[in-house]
Structure 1
């Protein structure tokens, strides 16, 4: 053992020389630094590569019940299996802290609503599905049934871990996705089939576009010839994209490049054509 955090959490060095955080009932009880860890007592093993995240996580391990940490690990594993992108190690810190206080609030009858509930259910469907499974797991392990609003909060933690965005930026990204989608709806004066492949591809594109807008990172591919062709062929959609560009310039101080306009035009056009064919 390298360090004993409490009766249930220790850190140790494995045979490859890597530090690992181990949890298990009584794992650190009456143990001493330098002791060999009894493997039959180990319930969960954590190996975080980021030293800063490891330090923050070890602080939480001292503050939170070991059951919450183990529950967090199971939810992260569930997400890693279901989602097609890599999750930041910071999810262990943010999610374990969130789960602890969410469970405590529910026990005290303090229900908190998530103002982004509609947006999360529609824009992050895969994450929301995993989060609902997480609620079932939480209920089974703790006996506490959290409201659906908590599924939205858990989903946003996953989204944030996937985007590696600064704290709070996911909320702004989600807001911008909602605004762009509404401009498209208003422009075409019709509802959008949110279950269609075209819609899902459109949402995926504007998630990354929204990140670039907020980070002020331009996409500058050489698309002049192709964009000129698209402008002639899909005038209505290009005008819709120009309206989006004007909105973003005014509200986010970001000038859309022709490359951004081209790719957004293609996604909107594809989405609307698929929808019209299905009607």
Structure 2
């Protein structure tokens, strides 16, 4: 195996029968040049850059600090082991580029908040835990302080890379909808939801299933008319809030949310109310 191009000390390109491969490993290209033989003992990762924007990855490997590339690859390897699943090769582009940007902002003391962080934490629990681990590794290795939302940012990249056809917009859609519903409840009652409470987690789980059913064209939950009438009367404020959320979902998703589902939403909203924190919104 012969080196076709050196990208950095830890990455090279080879070309076999007209097909390029990107090979990575600590020091695999140190002191090497084009047409030198590859040391097999230093090969750690090898893949065919057949994904879209493969040329961008080569550019990232040649322009991004090695410490960022190394951290990105460590995180990817750790995540693949923890999740027991291979990632789409594009993760090597998206995560590396993201980390370079995040670290640059941190060093410039610029903080960009992710308003979907809580929804991402609850939606993609396994990936979020890895994201938190990754943040600790980055902060320790590079002596920087990242915003707490960075764990959610990394989690989203990991979740997206697990899909057959990665699409960040699709991965964000559910989180965005759930975030909007939470903010509608907070606005209606003028209070902040405690997102770590069990009652909110139950509401969150219920609405996640509702959104999935809507997306798949399935029937939503049914409720007995007598119980529905009681919910409307006993939990009037929660039901009005749920009606407002349902109307928004109908407009946003071009669907119909029946009164019975509004009733279930109202029950969850009512259960959340004791956990609401007083605040001025």
Deviations, residues 192-245 of structure 1 (Å, cap 9, x unaligned): 77343x754653564576588xxxx7433367xx73x55554553896765433
State how 1:146-157 maps to structure 2 within 5 Å.
Answer: 146-157=146-157
Q: Provide closer, same or farther for how the CA distance between residues 87 and 38 of structure 1 changes in structure 2, counting only shifts above 3 A.
A: closer
| Structure 1 SS opposite 2:45 | strand
Range moving further from structure 2, 140-149 or 118-127: 118-127
TM-score by length of 1: 0.66
CA RMSD of superposed structures (Å): 4.5
* Structure 2 CA distance for aligned equivalents of residues 88 and 266 of structure 1: 38
The answer to whether residue 181 in structure 2 is matched with residue 180 in structure 1 is yes
The answer to whether residue 2 in structure 2 is matched with residue 5 in structure 1 is no
The answer to whether residue 245 in structure 2 is matched with residue 248 in structure 1 is no
* Structure 2 CA distance for aligned equivalents of residues 49 and 267 of structure 1: 46
Q: Shift of the alpha carbon at 1:104?
A: 2.8
* Structure 2 CA distance for aligned equivalents of residues 190 and 104 of structure 1: 32
Is the Cα–Cα contact under 8 Å of residues 219 and 257 in structure 1 kept in the other structure?
no
* Structure 1 CA distance for aligned equivalents of residues 8 and 192 of structure 2: 60
State how 1:123-272 maps to structure 2 within 5 Å.
Answer: 123-124=122-123, 126=125, 127-162=127-162, 166-168=167-169, 170=171, 173-183=174-184, 194-196=196-198, 199-200=200-201, 202-204=203-205, 206-207=207-208, 218-221=215-218, 227=222, 230=224, 233-234=227-228, 236=231, 242-250=243-251, 252=252, 254-256=254-256
Query: Residue 104 of structure 1 corresponds to which residue in structure 2?
Result: 104
Query: Residue 278 of structure 2 corresponds to which residue in structure 1?
Result: none
Q: Provide closer, same or farther for how the CA distance between residues 165 and 37 of structure 1 changes in structure 2, counting only shifts above 3 A.
A: closer
Is the Cα–Cα contact under 8 Å of residues 2 and 10 in structure 1 kept in the other structure?
yes
Which 5+ residue runs of structure 1 have no aligned equivalent? none
| Structure 2 SS opposite 1:6 | strand
Q: Shift of the alpha carbon at 1:137?
A: 1.0
* Structure 1 CA distance for aligned equivalents of residues 87 and 210 of structure 2: 20
- The counterpart of 1:27, out of the listed 26, 29, 39, is 29
Q: Shift of the alpha carbon at 1:161?
A: 3.6
Q: Shift of the alpha carbon at 1:87?
A: 4.8
* Structure 2 CA distance for aligned equivalents of residues 204 and 92 of structure 1: 31
Q: Provide closer, same or farther for how the CA distance between residues 254 and 165 of structure 1 changes in structure 2, counting only shifts above 3 A.
A: farther
